[in-house]
Amino acid sequence: MIAADIRKMSDEEILNEIEDLKHAEFNLRMQKATGQLENVKTIRQTRHDIARLKTILHERQLAARVANKEGEAKKNA
């Protein structure tokens, strides 16, 4: 998953994607535990994708806070 593609997604889409990837990660862990997983690298890739999604979502939240504080500062000035 590429960060540029994630940035085009809405917050709801990102949250849904995180939820889907968490379910996928759980299923991959179960496959690994039962010996059915052929490529264990997919677990790491899934975790990295989740982290990338959460990072971009957090960046948006921080940007919104900064914009809100700047708006309040201009309002009070």
- Which pLDDT score is estimated for 5? 94
Percent of the chain predicted with pLDDT > 70: 99
Residue with tokens 């997919």: 42
pTM of the model: 0.87
What does the pLDDT look like over 35-72, one tens digit per residue? 999 999 999 999 999 999 999 999 999 999 998 888 88
Computed over every residue of the chain, the mean pLDDT equals 93
Flag whether pLDDT at 23 surpasses 80. yes
- Which pLDDT score is estimated for 29? 97
**The domain 3-76 is classified under which CATH number: 1.10.287.310, 3.90.110.10, 3.40.50.2300, 3.40.50.1980?**
1.10.287.310
Residue 43 burial by CB count (10 A; 0-12/13-18/19+): exposed, middle or buried?
middle
